[in-house]
Amino acid sequence: MRLLACGCLLFAMGAARCGEWEITDAAGDGETDNTAVFQRVLDEAAKHGGGIVNVPSGHYRMDGTLSIPGGVTLQGTFRVPPTDQREQRPKLDGAVLLAYAGRGAQDGEPFIRLAGSMATLRGFIINYPEWQQADAPPIPYPPTVLAERMANVGVLDCCFLNAYEAIHFQGTGRFLVRNVYGYPSFRGLYVDECYDIGRVENCHFWPFGVAYDPANAYCEWVNTQGVAFEFARTDWQYVLNTFCFGYGVGYKFSENAQGSCNGNFVGIGADCCRRAVLVEQSQPPGLLITNGEFVGRWGSTDSVCVDIAEGAGEGKVSLNNCSFWGPSDRCIWLKSPKVQLTATGCNFCTWDSGYVGSPAVQLDAGKAILQGNTFGDGDAHVRVSPEVVSAIVMGNQAAGGFVVENEAGARTQLVANEASPVAWSDEAKSHYRVDVGSDGDRPYVKLWHGQEKAGEWPDAGGTKRWSTPESVLRLPVCPQTPYALTLDIRMPRFAVDPDNGLYLGETRLVEFPASEGTATVIATIPPTDKDKVVLRVRVKTWQPKDHIDNSEDPRQLGICVRSATMKAEGAQDKLFNANTGQWAE
């Protein structure tokens, strides 16, 4: 082994310090154990006051573990993630460490220990050659990098390709994690007992080196059990421009005996996560989340983007300029009676992925301010439960009008929210049409699938929606007036069943056709003392993937409906468009 010392600096006082060391005798062939060679150079650098230990490109097998002394930086050549990252065994260029130690021992010695103040790891791909995607659940390993009771340590420009737990910081103040990539399976980053401002910047936990498939057993495990970022007791935590994909929890705020987290989280993103953000606990100063982007787990019906647990304490959760979309059941779910939630300037695109009537924001307890937000397509935008102490809902907008299901009475204050563009009069209620699947139909259809073009009808015009097992129609009426309802439907042969029909309560008003094809169905709606009638569509459901060649569509479908026309007894022929609020010419 040869140690090359270079970059000596001469100071005015006359003292000289050697600043850089280079490993020249290590074998980068992927076969020879280099643990002792690396450790000898690291220790030698520490004896001379620290510095940078440079490692050239190569694949360096490590059968043991490494300890980076205080004041020493172990530096390789890696700066960006592998370019052919979608391959299960990507070609790895640059300085690569092949970790073999600790297989099956989660609590064993870490692969790399940052053993002193200002110890730094920089510029490596770290790969576990014995890892197999077929191992589900994944085989545990100790943390790849661990720092305990040390300040001012860093992990920079590294890719933890298939680690079990990438970085674990315990009692580590003023740390810096920057430009870190990989797809750790159990956990990407864990921080606890950081009492003086740790920083996490530009980190990207994504399926590098994994053939990603939501149905694959390994991917499913990570996507339901794994955690990308976890923060326990950490004060003034700063997190900037981070992203994760395919985890059970994207950002977890947990609690231990020392407490929980407060901090500033800017530009954070979580895609395909069962819980993009899970708040189990936070400190009174709160979690300040700005410019967040959150998406539920692909193919799921139970994902929640921001889940504030029932046991969360008196901290504030503040969301500013965040966006929510994708397959989520709820975008925000406040369950804690002690948390103050604020959502300002957020954009809620989609929710209720299971078509069960979930709102975008559900408030079960505590206090909340929802101000200046925009909402997309959904049956309910906000649901306020009776246990909520205070909810101020102000200045929110939604296509077709902002809808709040308020069960908290006067404890909910509704101010200057967008109203429905449709102004109903008795004349309008007497004869109107709902174009199902067109913009503006949401007030009248609940628990239906999304909007589609209606191409199956002979005239190939208009739009449609497919029914679900729970689909209902909510139609305005004049009290004490009978109506005739005309439905323009298409019945697939897979949905034909003798119990099919349109129901009012348990009474079937009309039977649906017993053969496939398009049809016009007319039902008589009896008088009611209310200003709205709620009708249920009951149809035998089917899945396209089971009946249509080359289809992978798992939805539970019934019939599709193109329009619903209501005409009161004695009404004129003049027709009101319930979607737009305009009279037909």
- Per-residue confidence band for 89, with pLDDT thresholds at 50, 70 and 90: low
- β-pairing, 125-127 with 154-160? parallel
Q: Of 340, 346, 232, whose CA–CA distance to 294 is shortest? A: 346
Contact 194, 216 (CB under 8 A): no
End-to-end CA distance of the chain: 91
Query: What distance in Å separates the CA atoms of residue 583 and residue 585, rounded to the nearest whole number?
Result: 6
Poorest-confidence range of 89-93, 268-272, 536-540, 565-569?
89-93
Strand 361-363 versus strand 382-384 pairing type: parallel
3-state secondary structure 361-410: EEECCCEEEEECCEECCCCCCEEECCCCCEEEEECCEECCCCCEEECCHH
The whole-number pLDDT of residue 314 equals 82
Beta bridge partners of 508: 503
**Across the strands, what pairs with 75?**
54, 122
Q: What is the mean pLDDT of the chain?
A: 92
Contact 263, 239 (CB under 8 A): yes
Asked whether the predicted pLDDT for residue 2 surpasses 50, the reply is: no
Tell me the one-letter amino acid at 499. D
Q: How far apart are the C-alpha atoms of 115 and 46, rounded to whole Å?
A: 11
Q: Domain-by-domain residue ranges, the chain?
A: 1-214, 426-583
- Give bridge partners of residue 169 from the DSSP assignment: 147, 191
Place of tokens 């008088």: 527
Angle at 481 between CA 476 and CA 482, to 5 degrees: 95
In angstroms, the Cα distances linking 27 to 20, 35, 63, 121, 233 are 20, 11, 13, 20, 41
Q: Which CATH number fits domain 1-214: 2.60.40, 2.160.20, 2.60.120, 1.10.287?
A: 2.160.20
The pLDDT assigned to 133 comes to 94
**H helix or E strand, kind and range, residue 121:** strand 120-122
Query: What pLDDT score does 34 carry?
Result: 97
Report pLDDT digits (tens) over 433-479: 999 999 889 889 988 998 999 888 877 679 999 999 989 999 999 99
Residue-wise pLDDT tens digits, 154-196: 999 999 999 999 999 999 999 999 999 999 999 999 999 999 9
Q: Which of 441, 450, 527, 435 is nearest to 487 (CA)?
A: 435
- Which residues neighbour 283 within 8 Å (Cβ) at sequence distance 6 or greater? 235, 259, 260, 261, 262, 315
Structure-token pair, residue 33? 């154990």
Identify the pLDDT of residue 11: 25
Per-residue DSSP letters for 313-355?
Answer: -S-EEEEES-EEESS-SEEEEE--SS-EEEEES-EE----TT-
Strands 125-127 and 95-99: parallel
CATH number of 426-583: 2.60.120.1320
Report which residue type is found at 356.
V
Q: Helix, strand or coil for residue 545?
A: helix
Q: How many CB atoms lie within 10 A of CB 80?
A: 10
Q: Which of 232, 365, 251, 359 lies closest to 310 in space, CA to CA?
A: 365
What's the predicted TM-score (pTM) here? 0.87
CA dihedral (71, 75, 81, 86) positive or negative: negative
In the predicted structure, residue 1 carries a pLDDT above the cut 60? no
Q: What percent of the chain has pLDDT over 70?
A: 95
How many angstroms separate the Cα of 6 from the Cα of each of 3, 22, 68, 69, 499? 10, 9, 20, 19, 86
Report the pLDDT averaged over residues 348-373. 94
Arithmetic mean of pLDDT, 72-90:
72
Q: Are 350 and 381 in contact (CB under 8 A)?
A: no
What Rg value do the Cα atoms of the chain yield, rounded?
A: 30
Residue 241 above 90 pLDDT?
yes
Peptide bond into 137 cis (omega under 30): yes
pLDDT score at 299:
86
The confidence score (pLDDT) of residue 10 equals 25
Confidence tier at 355 by pLDDT (50, 70, 90): confident
